[in-house]
Amino acid sequence: MTAAALSGSAIAASATSPSPMLELRGLGKSFELHHQHGARLDVLDNVELTLHASECVVLSGPSGAGKSSLLRVIYGNYRPSRGAVRVRHDGDWLDLAEATPHQVLEVRRRTLGYVSQFLRVIPRVPALDIVAEPLIEAGLSTPEARQRASALLHRLNVPERLWQLPPGTFSGGEQQRVNIARGLIVSRPLLLLDEPTASLDADNRVVVAELLEEARAAGSAVLGIFHDEDMRDRVATRLFPMRPFQIA
């Protein structure tokens, strides 16, 4: 991938006419628990959603409505039980429900980003390198990647004295900002966000909102969960209501 693609200009071209980036069709998810007497847990049924470039759709609904599960099914942490997860990857449509692991990894590397609520820390790796890593994987030189990571950590108000430390001992809010930086440092056409601002103060939420607005302006499509109403009102272009799946 070139530096131009990383800066978002490659996806900006499609931003002028909102084009679909993600299509969920008849999507369903059930868990079969073999050691709980074969219990079946239905969490999603027949979800239909189209997400366009430059829009931010926020999933709404009570706890247990399957919002996080939906993001995980799209990202591929959960295997879809029924239906299709069609993603536009390099201009072509690919159904992630049918894709090989290698294809899913390629989509995650270049097209589909996911920011969870919690940072999965890697022992001994400093915060700066955790943030820089996706850029290095995308082909940037280590010094350049570190420089961009510094700029983003700075913007998210992570104190510079922490950058060379592994984030295992950071506060929840600091870890979450490292996590957001890692998730947003490479601009991808599709972003999934699972309450990335839950433990942030108001100032830092504003920074995240601005980062998301910039990503959208560059053409990224965003699908997220935000429980904070101010945050939701600020970033959402549309709500997608969900309710707990009724078991017949």
| Contact positions vs other proteins (CB under 8 A) | 31-35, 72, 76-79, 101-102, 104-105, 120, 122-125, 136-137
* Nearest distance, CB of residue 54 and other proteins, angstroms: 28
Q: For other proteins, give the closer residue by CB, 18 or 126.
A: 126
> Least separation, in Å, of the C-beta of 105 and other proteins?
6
CB 66 within 8 A of CB 59: no
Cβ proximity to other proteins, 32 vs 90, nearer residue: 32
| 53 token code pair | 């470039």
Closer residue to other proteins in complex, CB, 79/238: 79
Beta bridge partners of 57: 223, 238
79 or 243: CB nearest other proteins: 79
Q: What is the end-to-end Cα distance of the chain in Å, rounded?
A: 48
Written as one letter, the residue type at 89 is: H
Q: Closest distance between other proteins and the C-beta of residue 100, in Å?
A: 9
Q: In this complex, which beta carbon is closest to other proteins, that of residue 57 or of residue 192?
A: 192
Instruction: For the CB of residue 214, give the shortest distance to other proteins in the complex, in Å.
Output: 28
Task: Kindly give the residue spans of alpha helices, DSSP state H, lying in the chain.
Answer: 3-6, 9-12, 67-75, 101-110, 127-137, 142-155, 172-184, 202-217, 229-235
Shortest Cβ 120–other proteins spacing (Å): 8
- CA distance readout (Å), 236 to 83, 152, 229: 26, 23, 10
